[in-house]
Structure 1
Amino acid sequence: MRRQRIGSLEVSALALGTLPFGKWVDDRTAFAILDRFAEAGGTFLDTANNYVFWDGGTGDESEEAVGRWLAARGNRDDLVVATKVGARPVTPGTGLENAEGLSGATIRGAVEGSLKRLGVDHVDLYYSHIEDRGVEPEDTLGAFASLVEAGVVREIGASNHATWRLERARAVSRANGWPLYTAVQQRYSYLRPRPGVKLPEGGHVHMTDELFDYAAAEGDVALVAYSALLSGQYRDKPLGEHYDHPGTTRRLAALHAVAAEVGATVNQVVLAWLMARDIIPLVGATTVAQVEETLGSLEVVLDDDHLRTLDSAV
């Protein structure tokens, strides 16, 4: 499988999202999915310390499921494990309005919980899961720096952050000689929601042209796209009203035309298009068949004409 760089890390060009594991997907199925991904050369696993609190979960389930697989397979050194801090509700049954946040004390305490659940001695990539504007960036980034210095974390990233907040954080880190955010994980796919629309999923922040410009100018910010396949909406689920605009019609037509021409599924073309833009798609799965389809995107070749067709549909 092709590789990308995130700071000092070499990761697979596809990331496997493990959000449903331990809650919606049992260990037998989760292990089969993880096995197939690893067999194909996938190395980049993504989880968080709050999945899936919004559906009666505790937030422990996904990390614990990944930890059980790592222990069973004995392959920790072959994987790049990413997890997140900041969006776990302080009180069970509450939501993001009661998130733990990004204070230094919270980050230091939360990483210990993640390490225990994952059964590892370090996290390869540790994300700020959501913004916390009630905490000074020096507090947050100083804590991350201390974890990197202690060898508990290798690289740090930001998820669901405004671009100006990302720049401010990196400026603070530079001024103090601390590690920089080297990855940004935001929502992104081929279809675009109406500008300014509020998505039903709480906390989701989209990649923007400003972020693309910033990442290109900096040269050391990797982009990871979650909800890359819109949770099945390209295949058999209706698109919500937030995608109800003429651009969606035009982009779907282009997408289906290219898929037919290259002999791939629509999902595979979306993933190939993202990878052609040097964006790492983060794709979840609840069956091995879904992983197989995702892996098939690596064989899809989009030439310049295909990319022009896809990019010109606006």
Structure 2
Amino acid sequence: MNIALGTIPFGTSVSREDTFAILDRFVEAGGSMLDTANNYPFWVEGRTGDESEQTIGAWLAARGNRDQVFLSTKVGARPTVPGDVTLDSAEGLSAPAVRAGVEGSLRRLGTDHVDLYWAHIEDRSVPLEETLGAFDELHRQGKIGKVGASNLPAWRLERARNVSAAHGWLPYTHLQLRHTYLRPRPYTRPAETGHRVTGDEHLEYAREAGVTLWAYNTLMFGAYTRADRPIPEIYDHPGTTRRLAALREVAGELGATPNQVVLAWLMAGGHVPIVGVSTMAQLEEAIGAADVKLDDELRRRLDEAA
């Protein structure tokens, strides 16, 4: 199942007991990829950012199944000032921050390595050579497997990969961006600080370079199916109306939900959708997306609606 489970609320708004049940069911259904970070969910009052990793670590220890899980976490956006709920004091991507970040994550997760380690933010105050050299050092030490970049423009991804190639270092092979079926208006930004929306240049570069896109905010906080969750303003244009119509038509023909078709569409494009869930029902809907098959004609109809 080429879906990654988003884990932001685990151990906080989703209790430890419910988190364990969700993780158990995800693995039982064939899922393996978990997406967390060393700062989830620091922006919630009273939280430190330790909670998601700690809860996953407790589950891994209780189940003894570390080898069944593809574990990914992130560094760079953890506040250095206690109580700061912004990115103003983010740790950044200096070599000391990267080294300290992985040690904290490994301790909270209760493991000696993570399979995929992400640069959570773009940090132009630090030379790419410093950050990428630190990642390569961690890889040679066996503490990280692969490395990815989150919220990075396409040109910076290309430059970073060239730097790694020039030094023989571990390159960015994964990219994490906000991406969904709807297309945003050009030159618009999401309301959420630090989010970067996938553009055509990202998609073209990832395809040509063999970089795997992990897409977050794939279901737009439930906006595809919930009347109480409005579609974000960046998607307010006539093309959205046409794409929503195509999405609903295809979902009806397949006997699937619009959410499932969105996830199937992303997977058909070779991407890994990250699905954040807080209930078992939401998880079951996401699991069902793995069985939704889009043939060439259905994909063409979805792609051409604009």
Fold match (TM-score > 0.5):
yes
| Contact map agreement 2:189 2:197 (CA 8 A) in 1 | no
For 2:106 and 2:62, how far apart are their aligned partners in 1? 16
Unaligned runs of 5+ in 1: 2-12
Q: 1:136 corresponds to which residue?
A: 127
For 2:254 and 2:14, how far apart are their aligned partners in 1? 32
2:241 is paired with a residue whose SS is helix
Is 1:63 the counterpart of 2:53? The answer is yes
For 1:248 and 1:97, how far apart are their aligned partners in 2? 34
Please state how far the C-alpha of 1:198 moved relative to its aligned partner: 2.4
* 1:14 counterpart (3, 7, 21): 3
Q: How big is each residue's C-alpha offset from its partner over 1:173-227, in whole Å with a ceiling of 9 and x where there is no partner? A: 11111000110010000012222122111101111111111112212x1111001
Is 1:245 the counterpart of 2:237? The answer is yes
For 1:222 and 1:244, how far apart are their aligned partners in 2? 28
For 1:127 and 1:240, how far apart are their aligned partners in 2? 26
Q: 1:205 corresponds to which residue?
A: 196
Q: How big is each residue's C-alpha offset from its partner over 1:85-106, in whole Å with a ceiling of 9 and x where there is no partner? A: 0011111232112211000010
Q: 1:10 corresponds to which residue?
A: none
Is 1:23 the counterpart of 2:12? The answer is yes
Is 1:181 the counterpart of 2:172? The answer is yes
Please state how far the C-alpha of 1:242 moved relative to its aligned partner: 2.2
1:97 is paired with a residue whose SS is coil
For 1:44 and 1:224, how far apart are their aligned partners in 2? 11
Please state how far the C-alpha of 1:53 moved relative to its aligned partner: 1.0
Q: How big is each residue's C-alpha offset from its partner over 1:100-149, in whole Å with a ceiling of 9 and x where there is no partner? A: 10000100011100000000010110000000000001110111011000
Q: 2:115 corresponds to which residue?
A: 124
Please state how far the C-alpha of 1:58 moved relative to its aligned partner: 0.6
Q: 2:260 corresponds to which residue?
A: 268
For 2:13 and 2:283, how far apart are their aligned partners in 1? 16
RMSD between aligned residues: 0.9
Aligned residues, how many?
302
Q: 1:227 corresponds to which residue?
A: 217
| Contact map agreement 2:189 2:196 (CA 8 A) in 1 | no
1:185 is paired with a residue whose SS is strand
| Contact map agreement 2:190 2:196 (CA 8 A) in 1 | no
Question: TM-score of the superposition, structure 1-length normalised?
Answer: 0.95
Code of the aligned partner of 1:154 = G
Q: How big is each residue's C-alpha offset from its partner over 1:14-35, in whole Å with a ceiling of 9 and x where there is no partner? A: 1001111011110111111100
Is 1:163 the counterpart of 2:154? The answer is yes
Q: 1:41 corresponds to which residue?
A: 30
Q: How big is each residue's C-alpha offset from its partner over 1:252-305, in whole Å with a ceiling of 9 and x where there is no partner? A: 100000000111000000000001100110001101111100010111111112
* 2:300 counterpart (298, 308, 314): 308
For 1:178 and 1:241, how far apart are their aligned partners in 2? 40
Unaligned runs of 5+ in 2: none
Q: Which runs of 4+ in 1 moved over 6 A?
A: none
Q: How big is each residue's C-alpha offset from its partner over 1:25-60, in whole Å with a ceiling of 9 and x where there is no partner? A: 101111111001000111101100011111122110
Code of the aligned partner of 1:50 = N
For 1:248 and 1:158, how far apart are their aligned partners in 2? 28
For 1:63 and 1:22, how far apart are their aligned partners in 2? 9
Aligned residues with identical type, % of pairs: 59
Code of the aligned partner of 1:249 = T
For 1:301 and 1:149, how far apart are their aligned partners in 2? 40
Q: 1:6 corresponds to which residue?
A: none
Q: 2:87 corresponds to which residue?
A: 96
